[in-house]
């Protein structure tokens, strides 16, 4: 298993573009990834949460990963999403390997909540099907105890854990469990929605990496925040958090699924041909899109200031 080495930048979760008929638009997806890679993300996570993995067929996952690998051109790692029913998960993992992905983000199993031993079995079945390093997504039906996390981190194919639960005490135990393994190749990152709002707390417990959906629609704002974060410039961080991220979260929380829908809307406002979201997600109303546009303008005015 090769070690995942991310660049110095936020972890980029691109959208998946669809045409007016709702079909996968491979060219537009590749153009979106290629454009954002120019802004310097630390890694590309293709066909994952922001990329609507839940709504993609196996063939579409493979196509999205392949075009993302091509568009990234080796500049940073490309991590492919896989998850859901076990058979589908393994098929996605194999397709990602064939498409040239550098690793896997293993999303939770579909619907059922098994015991901790069952989660371990799910991860082990995936590891047996691939030589790619696997990042386990701690969330939903794959919510881990500290003991389970420690066991998984001892497995050579597991490259790290993404936290989507938000329990800082458990997240701290996961980081400590990783330290006890003695492995220097493990990666931990904050995967909460709009992670910028919680990243100061995660950095304090030893999770310096975070994913940024905002980077997909406004890389200038997301990168400015990241640079302030890396430089310990709390004044700039707080200005962006209070003036942009906090009201963005308030808008996001108005409708389930807007963590993805708003990102696509923001791209459309900028002229990108990425299409709508697929069901069960819905697009923002015209009034909500107008508010999003004003928020993006406010964020950029804060950068100018």
**Per annotation, catalytic residue among 122, 162, 210, 229:** 162
Q: How far is CA 269 from the centre of its chain?
A: 22
What are the b/e assignments for 81-98, b being 16+ CB within 10 Å? bbbbeeeebbbbbbbbbe
Predicted confidence at residue 196, as pLDDT, reads: 97
To the query of whether residue 162 is one of the catalytic residues in this protein, the response is: yes
Q: How many Cα atoms sit within 13 Å of 263 on the Cβ side?
A: 26
**Segment 188-205, tens digit of pLDDT:** 999 999 999 999 999 999
Between CA 28 and CA 275 the distance in angstroms is 9
Question: What per-residue confidence (pLDDT) applies to 305?
Answer: 79
In this predicted model, what pLDDT tens digit does every residue of 137-179 receive, in sequence order?
999 999 999 999 999 999 999 999 999 999 999 999 999 999 9
Q: Is 264 a catalytic residue?
A: no
One DSSP character per residue, 60-86 reads: HHHHHHHHHHHHHTTSS-EEEEE-SSH
d(CA 34, CA 64): 13
Assign 3 a pLDDT band (cuts: 50, 70, 90): confident
For residue 1, the model assigns a pLDDT of: 58
How much is the mean pLDDT over the chain?
97
**DSSP letters spanning 224-253:** HHHHHHHTT-HHHHHHHIIIIIHHHHHHHT
Check whether the bond before 280 is cis (ω within 30° of 0).
Answer: yes
Q: Answer whether 225's CB lies under 8 Å from 303's CB.
A: no
**Among candidate residues 257, 265, 273, the one with its CA nearest the CA of residue 291:** 265
Burial of 197 (0-12, 13-18, 19+ CB in 10 A): middle
Tell me how crowded residue 210 is: count the other CB atoms within 10 A of its CB: 22
Mean pLDDT value of segment 103-119: 96
Catalytic: which of 122, 137, 202, 245? 137
Ordered structural domains, the chain, with CATH: 11-232 (3.20.20.70)
Beta-carbon neighbour count of residue 232 at 10 Å? 8
């Amino acid at each position: 298993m090769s070690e995942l080495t991310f660049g110095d930048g936020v972890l980029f979760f691109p959208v998946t573009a669809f045409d007016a008929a709702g079909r996968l638009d491979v060219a537009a997806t590749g153009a979106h990834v290629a454009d954002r890679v120019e802004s310097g993300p630390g890694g590309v996570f293709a066909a994952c949460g922001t990329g609507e993995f839940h709504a993609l067929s196996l063939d579409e996952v493979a196509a999205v990963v392949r075009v993302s690998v091509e568009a990234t051109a080796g500049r940073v790692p490309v991590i492919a999403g896989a998850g859901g029913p076990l058979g589908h998960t393994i098929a996605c993992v194999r397709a990602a390997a064939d498409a040239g992905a550098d690793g896997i983000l293993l999303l939770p199993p579909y619907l059922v909540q098994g015991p901790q031993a069952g989660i371990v079995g799910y991860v082990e079945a995936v590891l047996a099907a691939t030589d790619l390093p696997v990042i386990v997504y701690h969330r939903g039906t794959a919510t881990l105890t500290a003991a389970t996390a420690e066991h998984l981190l001892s497995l050579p194919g597991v490259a790290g854990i993404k936290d989507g639960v938000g329990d800082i005490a458990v997240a701290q135990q996961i980081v400590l469990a990783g330290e006890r393994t003695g492995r220097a190749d493990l990666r931990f990152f904050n995967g909460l929605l709009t992670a910028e709002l919680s990243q100061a707390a995660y950095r304090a417990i030893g999770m310096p990496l975070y994913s940024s959906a905002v980077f997909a629609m406004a890389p200038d704002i997301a990168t400015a925040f990241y640079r302030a974060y890396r430089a310990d410039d709390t004044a700039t961080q707080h200005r962006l958090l209070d003036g942009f991220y906090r009201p963005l979260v308030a808008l996001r929380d108005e409708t389930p699924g807007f963590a993805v829908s708003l990102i696509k809307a923001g791209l459309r406002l900028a002229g990108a041909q990425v299409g709508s979201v697929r069901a069960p997600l819905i697009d923002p109303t015209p009034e909500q899109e107008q508010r999003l546009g004003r928020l993006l303008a406010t964020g950029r005015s804060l950068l100018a200031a």
